[in-house]
């Protein structure tokens, strides 16, 4: 297991409707939890991953995500069981979309 935190600059999120949890911690998969934080111009990531030695890839994936989406002011916590970058990106997007929707969506 490897644990690390990364804070990346990002545009301030338009509105956080609700905290969100997407995905399941199973082999090749991960869960992503999105909550509000108090730093509007940056996004804080906390990653727990079962696959050691891929921090560079994580940084690249998360940097692209923070660039593509307005996630300033969010805490994003991840429990990962060896997901590929494709799955990580997909799950991040899903969690983000869900956090932007009303609770009834």
The verdict on 87 binding another protein (CB under 8 A) reads yes
The verdict on 80 binding another protein (CB under 8 A) reads yes
Residue 81, Cβ density class (10 Å: 0-12 exposed, 13-18 middle, ≥19 buried) = middle
Q: Which of 43, 61, 76, 95: binder of another protein (CB under 8 A)?
A: 61
The secondary structure element, H or E, covering residue 21 is strand 20-22
Nearest CA to 99 among 9, 12, 8, 13?
Answer: 13
Residues 6+ apart with CB under 8 A from 3: 46, 47, 48, 49
The verdict on 104 binding another protein (CB under 8 A) reads yes
Q: Which of 24, 41, 67, 101: binder of another protein (CB under 8 A)?
A: 24
Assign 95 to helix, strand or coil.
Answer: helix
The verdict on 77 binding another protein (CB under 8 A) reads yes
Q: Which residues bind another protein (CB under 8 A)?
A: 1, 19, 21, 23-26, 28-29, 31, 33, 35, 48-51, 54, 56-57, 60-61, 77, 79-82, 84-87, 89-90, 93-94, 97, 103-104
């Amino acid at each position: 297991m490897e644990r690390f935190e990364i804070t990346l600059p990002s545009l301030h999120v338009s509105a956080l409707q609700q905290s969100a949890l997407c995905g399941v911690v199973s082999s090749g998969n991960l869960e992503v939890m999105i909550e509000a934080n108090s730093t509007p111009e940056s996004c804080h990531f906390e990653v727990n991953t079962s696959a050691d030695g891929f921090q560079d890839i994580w940084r690249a994936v998360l940097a692209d995500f923070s660039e593509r989406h307005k996630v300033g002011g969010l805490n994003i916590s991840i429990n990962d069981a060896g997901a590929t970058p494709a799955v990580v990106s997909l799950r991040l997007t899903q969690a983000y979309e869900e956090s932007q929707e009303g609770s009834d969506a």
